Amino acid sequence: MAHNHVVMRRCIGCKRVAPQTSLLRVVRTRTGQVLDGTGEHISGRSAYVCPAPGCVKAAGRRRMLERALSAAVSEEIWERLLAQAGTGTQVV
């Protein structure tokens, strides 16, 4: 148990803590680009959100993602997040 170290991150939509690998990741790089960093090793300031449409929408509605990253988030990134959140089974 103690050997099974799981990195936990907080979803900015629902504030629940979950294993980092189960969350979608958005990264702001040093050059200020905001990228979909899910499953990729991109260094920079990161924000995490559950792969659930409700969480992605909550993060957008309250501008939580922009605030977490201190950067503007493009439509393209939102579309990618929503696409990855899919139809989801979680109802928030």
Torsional sign, CA 58, 92, 85, 48: positive
Q: Is 11 in the site for Zn ion (CB under 5 A)?
A: yes
* Interface with Zn ion (CB under 5 A), residue from 24, 34, 50, 68: 50
Is 13 an interacting residue with respect to Zn ion (CB under 5 A)? yes
Among 24, 27, 55, 68, binds Zn ion (CB under 5 A): 55
Six token digits for residue 17: 């803590």
Give the burial class of 20: count Cβ atoms within 10 A of its Cβ; 0-12 exposed, 13-18 middle, 19 or more buried. middle
**Residue 85 binds Zn ion (CB under 5 A):** no
Interface residues toward Zn ion, by CB under 5 A: 11, 13-14, 50, 55
